[in-house]
C-alpha cells in the first residue's frame, strides 16, 4: 500500500513548501492537508492554504481549535497586542503561542490515524529558531515517540525544513518548480498582506532577507 502523508498547512511560506515537497514524494492523490483555526489574526492564511490545495489537487480541512486562543494571550491571536518589531533579547517573541506545535501535531495525528495516514509533515525549522522550543528537532523526535505510544501506531514525522535556512527554503521551492506559487500565493506577513507582505514586520524581514540571499547564491 502506498504511504499517505498529512501536511500541517498554515498557508505560509514554510508549510506550503512542505506541501509541494510532499506532493513530489507521495503524489498529490496521497497527500492531505489540515489547517488550524485558532483565532489567529489572519484567518486569510487559511483561505490561501485552501486555494493552494485546491489548485494542487490536495484535500484540505480546517480544524477549529479556539481553545488555544482562550488560553494564550499573544500578538498572533490578539488584535490589542502589537507584534514586537524586534525579538526581545532575553525572551521569546510575543508571537509565540506556547505549545502550538505540540497541539497541532497531536490533532493532526488523530486526524491522520482516522484516515489511515502514517506520515505527518511539518514545516518546523531549527535553523531560524526564534526561541520557539517546539520547533526543535529534539522535540519532534520526542513527540514522534509519544504519538506512537499514545495511539499504538507507526507515525513518521517528516521535517523537510529542519536544517534549512530561509534562503535554502526558497531554493527548495525553486527546485520543486513552485517558486512563483510560494512567492505570490502564501501569507507569512503578520499584517496579513499576501505574497511579498508589508515589508515591515519581523516575518516579512526574514522572508525578504532569505529571498535576497537565495538570489545571491543562485547567482542572479
Chain residues that interact with Zn ion, rule: CB under 5 A: 189, 191, 197-198, 201, 204
Q: How far is the CB of 87 from Zn ion (least distance, A)?
A: 15
Which residue, 4 or 207, is less far from Zn ion as judged by CB?
A: 207
Phi and psi at 28, nearest 5°, equal -55, -35
CA 82 to chain centre: 22
Q: How far is the CB of 176 from Zn ion (least distance, A)?
A: 24
**Rounded to an integer, what distance in angstroms lies between the CA atom of residue 185 and that of residue 149?**
38
Which residue, 61 or 128, is less far from Zn ion as judged by CB?
A: 128
Which residue, 34 or 201, is less far from Zn ion as judged by CB?
A: 201
Find all residues with CB under 8 Å of 142, minimum gap 6, and list them. Answer: none
Q: How far is the CB of 142 from Zn ion (least distance, A)?
A: 32
On whether the CB atoms of residues 156 and 112 are closer than 8 A, the answer is: no
Which residue, 76 or 120, is less far from Zn ion as judged by CB?
A: 76
Which residue, 35 or 197, is less far from Zn ion as judged by CB?
A: 197
Q: How far is the CB of 208 from Zn ion (least distance, A)?
A: 9
Q: How far is the CB of 14 from Zn ion (least distance, A)?
A: 15
CA 167 to chain centre: 16
Buried b (16+ CB within 10 A) or exposed e, 177-215: ebbebbbebbbbbbeebbeebeeebbbbebbeebbebbe
Which residue, 139 or 205, is less far from Zn ion as judged by CB?
A: 205
Q: What's the order of all strands across the beta sheet hosting 119-121?
A: 59-64, 31-37, 5-8, 119-121, 156-158
Residue sitting closest to Zn ion (CB): 189
**Rounded to an integer, what distance in angstroms lies between the CA atom of residue 191 and that of residue 197?**
8
Q: How far is the CB of 114 from Zn ion (least distance, A)?
A: 36
CB atoms within 10 A of CB 220: 7
Amino acid at each position: 500500500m502506498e504511504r499517505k502523508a498529512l501536511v500541517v498547512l498554515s498557508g505560509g511560506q514554510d508549510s506550503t513548501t512542505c506541501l509541494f515537497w510532499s506532493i513530489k514524494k507521495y503524489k498529490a492523490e496521497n497527500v492531505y492537508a489540515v489547517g488550524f483555526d485558532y483565532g489567529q489574526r489572519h484567518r486569510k492564511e487559511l483561505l490561501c492554504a485552501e486555494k493552494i490545495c485546491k489548485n494542487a489537487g490536495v484535500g484540505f480541512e480546517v480544524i477549529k481549535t479556539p481553545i488555544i486562543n482562550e488560553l494564550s494571550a499573544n500578538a498572533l491571536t490578539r488584535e490589542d497586542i502589537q507584534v514586537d518589531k524586534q525579538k526581545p533579547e532575553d525572551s521569546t517573541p510575543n508571537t509565540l503561542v506556547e505549545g502550538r506545535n505540540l497541539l497541532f501535531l497531536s490533532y493532526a495525528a488523530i486526524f491522520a490515524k482516522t484516515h489511515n495516514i502514517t506520515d505527518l509533515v511539518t514545516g518546523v525549522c531549527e535553523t531560524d529558531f526564534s526561541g520557539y522550543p517546539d520547533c526543535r528537532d529534539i522535540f519532534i523526535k520526542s513527540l514522534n515517540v509519544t504519538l506512537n505510544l499514545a495511539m499504538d501506531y507507526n507515525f513518521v514525522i517528516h521535517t523537510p525544513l529542519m536544517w534549512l535556512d530561509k534562503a535554502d527554503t526558497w531554493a527548495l521551492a525553486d527546485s520543486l518548480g513552485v517558486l512563483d506559487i510560494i512567492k505570490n500565493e502564501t501569507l507569512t506577513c503578520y499584517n496579513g498582506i499576501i505574497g511579498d507582505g508589508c515589508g515591515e514586520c519581523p516575518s516579512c524581514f526574514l522572508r525578504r532577507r532569505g529571498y535576497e540571499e537565495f538570489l545571491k547564491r543562485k547567482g542572479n
